[in-house]
Structure 1
Amino acid sequence: MGGSFATFVQSWLMYELTGSKLAMGSLWLVFMLPGVLVKLVSGPCLDRWDPKRLMIAVQWSRAAIFLLPFGMLALHALEVWHLCLTTIAAGMTEQLFRPDGMAYVAGTFPGEKMARVNSLLEGTMQLTQLTGPALAGWALAEAEGDSLPVLAALVAMTAGSGAAPLPLPRAEGGVRRKKAGWLGQLIEGFRFFRLSPLFCGPGCS
């Protein structure tokens, strides 16, 4: 929820700074595009990292990232580049958290429960992505357009989200097999994507 909540709030701040609806909307593009690059380069590395520790580190990093617009706004020194930098960093870290969370699930739950667990997680993610902007809009309305307490709540929620995995067990499936290097895994992933009818449709190879 924090990703879409944060982007909505920062889009509102962008509009307040620039008065431009185009600049406001472009912040969503700034949020999504860096994630594509992160997915491309980080996928082969995720198997080498402890998923629980990475989830915690990512969420606490995001909380620290959101301190930038909060601090600049509190000092009345917020500028457009602060919002762009924060949005890029938030988009990149979000695309680390989601696949890492799935890797944790795969190493924690038995195979017969995977379909149920994955459907529950994916449904929850889709729901929170939809409700995040609505919640942000409600919070801004309640704060009468004052973004400072809303940003403070965002920092607190993200930090709390990072603390949530602390009591979880380590993924025992985290005992990794020795695999090909990063480039080899990347090529293997592209090959699988190209050949799989599930992704490309029949006859795409």
Structure 2
Amino acid sequence: MKRETSAFRNPAFLFMWIGSAISELGGAFGTFCNSVIVYELTGSELALGSMWLIYFIPSLILQLGIGPYIDKWSRKRMMIFSQFTRGAIFLIPLLMFNLNTLEVWNIYAVQIVIGLIQPLYAPASFSIIPTLIPKELLTSANAYLDGTIRLMTFLAPPMGGLLVDWIGVSFVLVFVCLFFTISGLLLMFLKEPPLHVGKVRATWFKQFMEGIRFFIRHPLLLWLGIFLAFVQFGVGVTMVINLPFMMEELKGSYAQYGYFMAGFPLGYFFGSVLTSKIKPKPTYRRSIMLGALIAGGLTYISMSFTTSISVAITIEVVAGIILPFFNANSTSLYQQTVPNHLIGKVFSIRLFITRAAMLLGILVGGTLGELWGIRAMFLLIGVIICSFSLLGICLPYFRFLNGPISQKNSIHSAR
């Protein structure tokens, strides 16, 4: 049997890749529209922060408990259900807009449902990839998927702004509904291998604790999750302060805000391509991954001092190029280390930690941002990320990040 040399030669990956690209474009359009609508209706950073809190709180609650079901149910069907549901929920603002009755609570209702759906889709998509892609292609497959998602996020703000100007919010929301529906249809073509859940039907609590124990007993999984949490804390803060930073600190326009928001995903796309081509030796893994986080922290610090819109956009592009060197390798290490019957539980725990950190960032950005100022928040994020990542590189304890990955050893050590 001929060995696959590229993830794109795998039909299942192609369907998932195209479906994810369309889905992310629609989701990014929806997020862009929701943020602008809330800010236009309220002009409040607190309202923007509340929009994201309403998204993350139900998401966080569901995320922690959904893991055992990810490993028990069909991941393909969960992903399809998620896409169709997200397409349907955006009908609410679409209808309210056309009836001239659109209010902030309509957007909040959409955010609640999206927040409940994401804990199903994200771990299911992470968990199904190792069943579709050979182990040696996981890093490049994750990099391509992650990079494409970021590319769609890059395209959405400027495209969304132009489309809103040309055809109006109503038609953009139609595109959102349509893109999610098309993505769900494409995912129907995935050929998911049968799940082997075993003959013994363990209780939800027992399965949940099994995932917790596996996660905690493996320093590699635990600390990669913690390092990612620091990054997501920064993401949470910037979700609140980016729009006021561009509009108030830099005196920009909505078009320039769109370019600014597009900078990071554009850089991330190119960084993902680079990551897919570079195969670091295990002895350099720790330095490459944590070095990328230090460089990313420095971009936050430099953002706190910039007064130029073009420089700010450039910094975002650089930050995007850097981060995939941590993210793609981290995800691949999880997929290679965790057995298939536990991967949904472990990814749900990882996502819970990162979402909790992002939620904390939103709270900090919404409260301290008004008290300390936006630039101080960028500086705070950068110092936190740089400090902890530097400790990870310097302390001998973290040498396990350079060690070989053995799934067999992982299974035995979890017992």
Q: Same fold (TM over 0.5)?
A: yes
- Cα 1:100/1:156, change in 2 over 3 Å: same
Give the root-mean-square deviation of aligned CA atoms. 2.4
- Cα 1:175/1:196, change in 2 over 3 Å: closer
Q: Secondary structure at the match of 2:128?
A: helix
Stretches of structure 2 that go unaligned for 5 or more consecutive residues are: 1-23, 224-391, 399-415
- Structure 2 residue 237 is matched with structure 1 residue 196: no
Q: Deviations over 1:129-158 (max 9, x none)?
A: 454444433433444xx3111111111111
2:190 corresponds to which letter in structure 1? Answer: L
Correspondence for 1:120 among 144, 165, 173: 144
2:216 corresponds to which letter in structure 1? Answer: R
1:151 corresponds to which letter in structure 2? Answer: L
Correspondence for 1:31 among 47, 55, 60: 55
Point out the more displaced range, 90-99 or 31-40. 31-40
Relative contact order (alpha carbons < 8 A, sep ≥ 6): 1 or 2 greater? 1
Q: Secondary structure at the match of 2:132?
A: coil
Percent of aligned positions that are identical:
35
1:160 corresponds to which letter in structure 2? Answer: I
Within a 5 Å distance, the mapping from 1:72-91 to structure 2 comes to 72-91=96-115
Correspondence for 2:70 among 31, 46, 56: 46
- Cα 1:132/1:36, change in 2 over 3 Å: farther
Q: Is the 8 A contact 1:51 1:104 kept in 2?
A: yes
Distance in structure 2 (CA, Å) of the matches to 1:188 and 1:129: 35
2:120 corresponds to which letter in structure 1? Answer: L
- Cα 1:96/1:152, change in 2 over 3 Å: same
- Cα 1:138/1:35, change in 2 over 3 Å: farther
Within a 5 Å distance, the mapping from 1:11-26 to structure 2 comes to 11-26=35-50
Cα offset, 1:40, TM superposition: 0.7
Q: Which residue of 1 aligns with 2:370?
A: none
Q: Which residue of 2 aligns with 1:8?
A: 32
2:148 corresponds to which letter in structure 1? Answer: T
Distance in structure 1 (CA, Å) of the matches to 2:190 and 2:110: 29
Cα offset, 1:173, TM superposition: 4.5
2:205 corresponds to which letter in structure 1? Answer: L
- Cα 1:184/1:129, change in 2 over 3 Å: farther
Within a 5 Å distance, the mapping from 1:23-172 to structure 2 comes to 23-143=47-167, 146-169=168-191, 171-172=192-193
Q: Is the 8 A contact 2:66 2:119 kept in 1?
A: no
Q: Normalising to structure 1: TM-score of the pair?
A: 0.83
Give the structure with the larger helix fraction: 2
- Cα 1:62/1:74, change in 2 over 3 Å: same
Distance in structure 1 (CA, Å) of the matches to 2:214 and 2:27: 29
- Cα 1:77/1:161, change in 2 over 3 Å: same
1:52 corresponds to which letter in structure 2? Answer: K
Point out the more displaced range, 132-141 or 38-47. 132-141
> How many equivalent residue pairs?
200
